[in-house]
Amino acid sequence: MRGRAEWLLWALLLPFLEGSSPVTGPKAVRGQERGSLAVQCRYTPGWESHGKWWCRGADWGSCKILVQTTASEPEVKRDRVSIRDDRENRTFTVTTEELRLDDAGVYWCGIARVGTDHAEQVSVTVDPGSSPVTGPKAVRGQERGSLAVQCRYTPGWESHGKWWCRGADWGSCKILVQTTASEPEVKRDRVSIRDDRENRTFTVTTEELRLDDAGVYWCGIARVGTDHAEQVSVTVDPGKSLGGRLDCKAQPIHRLVHPDTAPET
């Protein structure tokens, strides 16, 4: 009985004691671009009802809070970042989806309280990720001819839409043609796309190539969140002149005169 009373007293006094932080977390974590990253932080008894937060910045006293729980909201999501407070196990987990390279930096997992909050620094590293779609870096075609570009993808993406777009930045490029789960083959104007799901390839064909078709294109895979894409540089060479050389050299004219109509001598 005495031991239980001492534990309860410790739990009540702990939030007001100075010294070591009641929250702990990993010093450093690592994730991959376009993947997700979960960071779990722990806290000591007595802090269950306090808000938990996740912020970014070199100094936690002035960092930007990305997501935060409250006493009535133990689970909150904002944009790509979510936080869940498991009060029974005294842990809270922050999950970042669709990781970007610029997500790397200094973060803090913290506990809100009257006065100065408690926080623990976490260093986040994001490694470049491998794309599930690959294609040729550059292709070449001839004016007035046709050009077929074949892109490949890894298993698991068969039912996703595939697309072909033009522009220097694939995030804002113009989609020329796109398949869907129910339409594996689509044609728009001079451009067609065919998704061979059995062999996990999709082919984009452009007919009647023009010189101004040259430029930067992307073969991509649609998904919830950020699509996957691979850049393809297209070059169009001038086509051969139509027809052969016309010889305009003058030739002698031979007049055929019938004997019956020949002039009298």
pLDDT tens-digit readout, 131-186 = 899 999 999 999 999 999 999 999 999 999 999 999 998 788 999 999 999 999 99
Residue 62 CB contacts under 8 Å (≥ 6 apart), including other chains: none
In the chain, the domains with their CATH numbers are 19-127 (2.60.40.10), 133-237 (2.60.40.10)
Residue 255 CB contacts under 8 Å (≥ 6 apart), including other chains: none
DSSP 226: S
3-state secondary structure 185-222: EEEECCEEEEEECCCCEEEEEECCCCHHHCEEEEEEEC
Tell me the pTM.
0.55
Q: Is the dihedral of CA 226, 227, 228, 233 positive or negative?
A: negative
**pLDDT at 16 > cutoff 60:** no
